[in-house]
Copies of this chain bind each other. A is one copy, B any other.
Amino acid sequence: MSGPHISRTIADLRTELKGWRQQGLSVAMVPTMGALHEGHLSLMREALSRADRCIVSIFVNPTQFAPTEDLDKYPRQLEHDIERLREVGVHLAFTPSPDEVYPKGFATKIIVGGPSAGLETDFRPHFFEGVATVVTKLFQQATPDCAVFGEKDYQQLCVVRQMCRDLDIPVEIVGAPTVRDEHGLAMSSRNAYLDEAQLAIARRLNVILRGASAAISGGADPAAETASASLALLDAGFKTIDYVAARECGSLGPWRPETEGRLLAAAWLGSTRLIDNVEIAARS
């Protein structure tokens, strides 16, 4: 099976798209930063099930990294990534350079309120500005009918949904479940930074969150349970806990017992920051 068409420029991407549109084909997109793992591949399979053609963008977006963060060491492995796209049957890989995405004189940003408040924003204040701006650009470049985002980055999924609704961007946003290893650890490109001892600790994250979520659904006080979960994470070997928080689905406002919620966490293992989240069932 032949590999995906590779577009390095917006102009080339648009030429390919035009051909597809003239044939009346629908298009789904999966925006990624590369370093593809099984979680990404599940998003691509979802995209392929929803449209005639699937575009995967591979772009490590500098504007969503703070100067202190891991932009330089973020894993880049384009050849390997393209091979994975070929295996899954993706039609087009969009792999622009930073200069193609942010040419000289670039000066626009998109600020999304609502679900961007708190959580990641408390620790990465410009993160969602960077995400919102690049996702808008990707949608204008590729004009897909739908785009698939992982629930692993749950707050990001909510922010992208809010943005598309607010700006009337005609792209359906599809959320896809987090893919986990056999121990429940959420797949993440940043797992590659972990050694064996850290991996064993990392695998405690989802276990502790699932326990707290079940307790909260069962009637336990959310503030007490999230505090206990933080202490349990520290006890397991996490170095710092950025947050463990119970929120309402979608809006990410405070969780209310009668609604479905989400328990979200971010914690540091050495110099690696991991995030995860699990459902909170509404109290019956």
- Chain A residues close to B by CB (< 8 Å): 10, 14, 105-114, 132-133, 136-137, 140-141, 143, 162-163, 166-170, 251
Residues of B within 8 A of A105 (CB): 114, 162, 251
A170 CB, min distance to chain B CBs, angstroms: 6
Give which listed residue, B107, B133, B170, contacts A114 with CB less than 8 A. Answer: B107
Residue of B nearest to A113 (CB): B107
Residues of B within 8 A of A114 (CB): 105, 107
Residues of B within 8 A of A137 (CB): 166-168
A254 CB, min distance to chain B CBs, angstroms: 16
Give which listed residue, B113, B140, B170, contacts A167 with CB less than 8 A. Answer: B140
Residue of B nearest to A164 (CB): B140
Residue of B nearest to A102 (CB): B166
How long is the Cα–Cα vector from A132 to B112 in the complex, in angstroms? 14
Residues of B within 8 A of A136 (CB): 167
Residue of B nearest to A22 (CB): B24
A15 CB, min distance to chain B CBs, angstroms: 13
How long is the Cα–Cα vector from A114 to B109 in the complex, in angstroms? 12
CB pair A162–B111 under 8 Å, yes or no, is no
With A140-B168, A167-B136 known as contacts, the answer to whether A110 contacts B110 (CB < 8 A) is: yes
How long is the Cα–Cα vector from A266 to B107 in the complex, in angstroms? 25
How long is the Cα–Cα vector from A167 to B167 in the complex, in angstroms? 13
Residue of B nearest to A103 (CB): B165
With A140-B169, A167-B137 known as contacts, the answer to whether A108 contacts B107 (CB < 8 A) is: no
